[in-house]
Structure 1
Amino acid sequence: MMRHIELGKDAQTRQAAVRRLIRNGSIQFGGNRPAKIYGRLSCVSGKKMKVANRVFFQNEQEAIKAGYRPCARCMQAAYLEWKNALF
């Protein structure tokens, strides 16, 4: 897991770092640290998130291992599977 805020001192530097990490396959999912939710990088909810709360994961297993749950908006099937496992 890597925190978005730690990728650079300003927005432009962080944006360039994120693009580079996506291109080389180092990150595939994003997450909200306080809410413990992960989802696709293209998720509308994830794009509205504060930079200080955003984290990135290399794969889904890394997010699950860190205690995050799937996003109900962009990962409906995985979310329903997670939710049904609770009950």
Structure 2
Amino acid sequence: MSASLAPECNEVKERYDSCFLKWYKFLRGNATTDECEPLFKQYKACLSVALKEKGIDAMLDEARESNRENDADHLRPSYSKGDEKDAMLGGH
């Protein structure tokens, strides 16, 4: 498994990665909760501190803000051409 961006987060990242590889049973419906969520939260908290220390958090926030409109376009429900024409003409 790959190392974390922040070396101080390597241990929790490795534990999360190992859990995630086993997590597919959750996706297949063999579990009712995400067993890895606590580890993910620990890793995210550790990484957030490192990103802030390096000034990367501000760059990420800026990138997210500048792409908000683009994201909205890509996350909008897609329609077939016929549906789009009906919508433009006020049809159902």
Please indicate, yes or no, whether the TM-score normalized by the shorter chain is above 0.5.
Answer: no
Q: Higher strand share goes to which structure?
A: 1
* TM-score, reference length from structure 1: 0.25
* Greater relative contact order (Cα < 8 A, sep 6+): 1
Q: Higher helix share goes to which structure?
A: 2
Larger Rg: 2
